[in-house]
Amino acid sequence: MPNTLDQSYVQRSAWRPDLFAGKVVFITGGAGSICRVQAEALVLLGANAAIIGRNVEKTEAAAKEIATLRPGAKVIGIGAIDVRKVQSLKEAVDKTVQELGRIDFVIAGAAGNFLCDFNHLSSNAFKSIIDIDLLGSFNTVKVTFDQLRKNKGAILFVSATLHYYGVPFQIGVGAAKAGVDALSNALAVELGPLGIRSNTLAPGKIQGTEGMSRLSKASESEAKRTVPLQRLGTTEDIADGTVYLFSPAASYVTGDVLVVDGGNWQVSSGIGANDYPVTLLDAINAPKGGKL
């Protein structure tokens, strides 16, 4: 079971329980650890949701579990959706509007990554990351645009801090997320006159997430050593940031990036920093396999 929220979030949070009553959120990557908790927070505070993903079983199971968080909640899981294919996403949008009536909020959270140095990262692998993270984000907004315009909705992209400085082994996702931030900024300017807001949330080291388990081999005590606030983030930190950006409290906030990382990016030099440059040289000089 992922690191998820429950009813106690409503009692201890600063948000009123019916904050998003009548609203519908469309979330790509919604069964993943970061996007799932975003969905949970919105549903707990009154929204209905469409969880979009590639894995049918995982996506539908997540939707059923999230629906149990609030009596009367409507949460649908739509699997077998590839964000790289516009028509696939369009079908998910049509089903969401048919079953839930509307779309007010869009979270573009589908992502892909390979932990690999430049010398061993193939062109196809790099393209896959760009296609899922950046093109997929563009496609998600493209297919939901009519609903966003109709309902004066809001967009939230899930980004990262990996392009704020040079991070080894993260070339693909760093380039993709830099593009996502630029996309959000441009949409904030273009769509603002329509009443549509566009923002980005950039998580840092969040405990209990897929990103931490895949990308960090350090112990929790080691991982939090470079965080100014001296702790790892929680999924509740992500939930609160998401709720804020969709709430009326952020009605004059657009084109912004909310970094939720305890100040870590300000002092971090990235993966492998403790052994730099030995870690990098070992990886770059390793025997090369696979295709270009």
Q: Which residues participate in catalysis according to the annotation?
A: 159, 177
Residue 291's Cα: distance from chain center in Å? 30
Structure tokens at 200: 């980005």
